[in-house]
Amino acid sequence: MGAGNMSAGNMSAGKTKTRVRGRGVPWLVLGLWVAVLAVVGPFAAKLSEVQQDGAVDYLPASADSTQVAEIQDRLPGGETTELVLVYHRDGGLTTTDKDTAARQVAEIARDNPLTATPQGVPSKDGTTLMYPVASNEPGTDEKLRDEFVNAVRDVARGQDGLSVDVGGPGALATDASEVYNALGGPLLYTTVAVVAVLLIIIYRSPLLWLVPLVVAGIADYLSMGVAYGLNQAFGTTVSGQSSGVMTILVFGAGTDYALLLVSRYREELRRIERPLDAMLAALRGCGPAVLASCGTVAAGLMCLLAADLNSSRGMGPLGTVGVLCALVAMLTLLPALLVLFGRRVFWPLVPVYGSTPKERRSLFAAMGSSAGRRPRTVLAGGALLLGVLALGTLNLPGTLKQEDSFVDRPDSVAAMETLATAYPGQSTQPITVITPTGKADDTLAAVRSQAGVADAERGRSGGGWTEISVVAEAAPQSAAETATIKALRAGLDGSYVGGPSAEQLDLEETNDRDTAIVVPIVLVSVLLILVALLRSLVAPLLLVAAVVAVWGASLGIAGLVFGPVLGFEGTDPGLGLLSFVFLVALGVDYGIFLMHRMREESLTGAAPTAAALTALRTTGGVIASAGLVLAATFAVLTNMGLVQLVELGFVIAAGVLLDTFLVRTYLVTSASVALGRKVWWPGPLSRAPEPEPLRPERQPEPV
């Protein structure tokens, strides 16, 4: 008896120790996160210091225009900041206006180190006078460039009906830089507010919504520190666009992972008494899907390293850092906090141990039933709708010009518009040719003899290179000027042709090249991850085909909105590639959530139709919530001041909503029902026998 009691006591003590150790795990995780943040904190605050938004940071690495910008920086005086002062009066400039312009330009030349004395160029109609102004002092220092531009603007002011605008490449760059520098705070605050509102609506709890939001904020802080480390260790490009998208991904993808985990944790709390054990069961259940989801996003983003465009290539590592930091936080810190808070974190809808949720017919159950009754009809109708929407891509506006890239019309754009009207068919910004100094005279003669060139002058020399400034006959970024740039590049061996118009041309051509290379790599990478997770070829092909269709349809919707509704004059050259990478990588997430649950149900012996409908019924709400959050976070970009960001945010938000409420719920489910077990081919589930139907009992024959 005593031995028995001692044995029982030891067992009881062992269980108690296990429980104590188990209770200590969340505190240990919390302590580790405090230590990590203490180390990362000083680096996170420095990310803004290494953010670069100069032309080189958005240009193709191997392009002529990039080489020109880099060589200009090494020439005496460094890179040139070029401005155009535009004096205009509708009824014609008066003598007083011209005197005012001359006085202001003289003051600018006196107070700033200019490369040459500005000379006024009057328009033929007498309404406008432009003064080209250039300085080498700022070099590549964006802060000095902005100070120079603002100093010129402080002096060049209109009066009594005389308008004065400061334009040119330097002014455009300064205005763009101001927009990018303003992204950090407003973007973060708006994103947090949007996610908070949606989580409150989804969870209907005064406390639960705050936990994943705080964890997402911590993950964002961690990602900033890691991104700074990558920049210092490997020279990774950090731009306003890439750092802004990183924040969007942390909150969007991180909240998606949190929604899936919390939903599964709530289920397990009804079956398992201890919160820690319930959390471990939830992690085992949804962990593979979350890991695969993050893997597809990370793999898709890392494929951007194959791009030649600096801005696209830099976005790959930063976006990957964002989703990986979100993953780590949501699979470690979030579970620890939820376990420490216990069941009360769900108040007032507390999942009581042993309880069962109220049975109610959900929207997704109804949608699944309609897809299950007529799967081929639903599939054909949905595919037709996506195809019709994709036709809208034919209505997308042409390539976005520099002056059309702002949502609000800044001073630099007003100057360019005035110049275009007052000097029709005439170039108002130079083309730059960089040539070996030994060939400078021959190159200058060749440039002057080229058709489409109005004038060319020899500029600075240094380091074995000479700068030649070329004035084209045609207006900037017109088809005729583009032809002149191409002719110069074809006819000048060993020289580089750059400048603002050449930069836009290189952006467009490089994006086409990057799309042809990166898109296949993304598709193969995502497909391999899906094959490894789902152990099938058909299901991954189905998911990939679905997200590609969503991408085409979302671009089609953009074609119906950008020009006719929003009045955009062009489409960002990088929109197609970036939207493809994000929509494929993020869209596959929801397919993983759905298909992984479908596979779980199939492994328990459920028939294909039952497995598909059960998966939709159990994950539909989570997928819808996650889709709304992700779409809302990307929609925050539509409130930013640059057309490129607005277009990217709109296309991704539209695609995510289309994917969430049409493709995942209807098309993938109906396709799975129509294919039956073939959806798991060639895996073992495709060969499993169908469960035999129950035979009705024989009724006794009437006597």
Identify the CATH number of the domain defined by range 13-44+184-359. 1.20.1640.10
User: Is-contact 600 542, C-beta < 8 A?
Assistant: no
The pLDDT, as a whole number, for residue 399 is: 85
Q: Which are the contacts of 617, defined by CB distance < 8 A and separation ≥ 6?
A: 362, 364, 365, 368
What confidence category does residue 9 fall into, taking pLDDT thresholds of 50, 70 and 90? Answer: very low
Tell me: pLDDT of 282 over 50.
yes
Tell me the C-alpha to C-alpha distance, in Å, between residue 646 and each of 395, 635, 660. Answer: 18, 8, 21
For the record, the structure tokens of 368 come out as 């699944």
What confidence category does residue 405 fall into, taking pLDDT thresholds of 50, 70 and 90? Answer: confident
- Measured from the Cβ of residue 614, the count of other Cβ atoms closer than 10 Å reads 19
Average of per-residue pLDDT across 384-395: 94
List the beta bridge partners of residue 159: 162
Global pTM reads 0.81
Q: Where are the domains of the chain?
A: 13-44+184-359, 80-179, 362-408+500-688, 416-499
Identify the CATH number of the domain defined by range 362-408+500-688. 1.20.1640.10
DSSP 67-100: HHHHHHHHSTT-S-EEEEEEEE-TT---HHHHHH
Question: CA-CA distance, 610 to 607, in Å (whole number)?
Answer: 5
**Which region among 41-45, 146-150, 268-272, 615-619 has the lowest average model confidence (pLDDT)?**
615-619
Tell me: pLDDT of 14 over 50.
no
The pLDDT, as a whole number, for residue 696 is: 47
Tell me: pLDDT of 17 over 60.
no
Tell me the C-alpha to C-alpha distance, in Å, between residue 6 and each of 1, 10, 18, 19, 473. Answer: 8, 6, 18, 20, 101
What confidence category does residue 614 fall into, taking pLDDT thresholds of 50, 70 and 90? Answer: confident
The pLDDT, as a whole number, for residue 689 is: 59
The pLDDT, as a whole number, for residue 639 is: 84
What confidence category does residue 22 fall into, taking pLDDT thresholds of 50, 70 and 90? Answer: low
Average of per-residue pLDDT across 332-360: 86
Tell me: pLDDT of 617 over 90.
no
The pLDDT, as a whole number, for residue 476 is: 80
- Only one residue has tokens 């062992």, namely 14
Backbone angles phi, psi at 460, to 5 degrees: -75, 160
Tell me: pLDDT of 489 over 60.
yes
Tell me: pLDDT of 359 over 70.
no
User: What is the average pLDDT value for the chain, to the nearest integer?
Assistant: 85
Tell me: pLDDT of 693 over 70.
no
Tell me: pLDDT of 20 over 50.
no
The pLDDT, as a whole number, for residue 99 is: 93
Tell me: pLDDT of 28 over 80.
yes
The pLDDT, as a whole number, for residue 702 is: 40
- Reduce the DSSP state of residue 135 to 3 states and report it: strand
- Measured from the Cβ of residue 281, the count of other Cβ atoms closer than 10 Å reads 17
- Reduce the DSSP state of residue 321 to 3 states and report it: helix
* 80-179 classified as CATH 3.30.2450: no
- Examine residue 682 and say whether the peptide bond preceding it is cis (omega within 30 degrees of 0): yes
What confidence category does residue 10 fall into, taking pLDDT thresholds of 50, 70 and 90? Answer: very low
The pLDDT, as a whole number, for residue 183 is: 67
The pLDDT, as a whole number, for residue 153 is: 93
Tell me: pLDDT of 368 over 80.
no
For the record, the structure tokens of 112 come out as 């700033």
The pLDDT, as a whole number, for residue 590 is: 76
Residue 617 vs residue 282, higher pLDDT: 282
What confidence category does residue 363 fall into, taking pLDDT thresholds of 50, 70 and 90? Answer: low
What confidence category does residue 396 fall into, taking pLDDT thresholds of 50, 70 and 90? Answer: very high
Q: What is the pLDDT of residues 432-471, one digit of tens each?
A: 999 999 999 999 999 999 999 988 888 888 889 999 989 8
Residue 1 vs residue 186, higher pLDDT: 186
Average of per-residue pLDDT across 352-370: 68
Question: CA-CA distance, 237 to 15, in Å (whole number)?
Answer: 53
Question: CA-CA distance, 132 to 676, in Å (whole number)?
Answer: 70
The pLDDT, as a whole number, for residue 385 is: 93
**Which region among 22-26, 355-359, 386-390 has the lowest average model confidence (pLDDT)?**
355-359
The pLDDT, as a whole number, for residue 169 is: 83
Tell me: pLDDT of 701 over 50.
no
**Which region among 88-92, 141-145, 150-154, 335-339 has the lowest average model confidence (pLDDT)?**
141-145
Question: CA-CA distance, 512 to 309, in Å (whole number)?
Answer: 10
Q: What is the pLDDT of residues 98-127, one digit of tens each?
A: 999 999 999 999 998 888 889 898 998 999
- Burial code of 557-585, b = ≥16 C-beta within 10 A, e = fewer? bbbebbbeeeebebbbbbbbbbbbbbbbb
List the beta bridge partners of residue 132: 84
Tell me: pLDDT of 223 over 70.
yes
User: Is-contact 649 638, C-beta < 8 A?
Assistant: yes
Burial tier of 352 (Cβ tally within 10 Å: 0-12, 13-18, 19+): exposed
The beta strand positions in 95-217, using DSSP E, are: 121-122, 128-135, 163-167
The pLDDT, as a whole number, for residue 361 is: 58
What confidence category does residue 688 fall into, taking pLDDT thresholds of 50, 70 and 90? Answer: low
Tell me: pLDDT of 11 over 50.
no
Tell me: pLDDT of 699 over 50.
no
The pLDDT, as a whole number, for residue 538 is: 92
* 416-499 classified as CATH 3.30.410: no
3-state secondary structure labels for all residues of 238-263: CCHHHHHHHHHHHHHHHHHHHHHHHH
The pLDDT, as a whole number, for residue 595 is: 86
Question: CA-CA distance, 448 to 471, in Å (whole number)?
Answer: 10
The pLDDT, as a whole number, for residue 215 is: 95
Tell me: pLDDT of 288 over 90.
no
Average of per-residue pLDDT across 541-567: 93
What confidence category does residue 202 fall into, taking pLDDT thresholds of 50, 70 and 90? Answer: confident
Residue 349 vs residue 495, higher pLDDT: 495
- Number of helices (H) and strands (E), helices first, in the chain? 22, 8
Tell me: pLDDT of 695 over 60.
no
List the beta bridge partners of residue 457: 469
Average of per-residue pLDDT across 154-176: 88
Long-range contacts of 111-117 (CB under 8 A, 24+ apart): 111/151, 111/155, 112/137, 112/148, 112/151, 112/152, 113/137, 115/77, 115/80
Backbone angles phi, psi at 83, to 5 degrees: -130, 165
Max avg pLDDT among 8-22, 136-150, 427-441: 427-441
Fold agreement between 13-44+184-359 and 362-408+500-688: yes
Tell me: pLDDT of 326 over 90.
yes
The pLDDT, as a whole number, for residue 364 is: 63
Q: What is the pLDDT of residues 499-542, one digit of tens each?
A: 888 888 888 888 888 999 999 999 999 898 888 888 899 999 99
3-state secondary structure labels for all residues of 587-624: HHHHHHHHHHHHHHHHHCCCCHHHHHHHHHHHHHHHHH
Max avg pLDDT among 137-151, 432-446, 597-611: 432-446
Nearest one of 66, 58, 55, 50 to 230, comparing CA atoms? 50
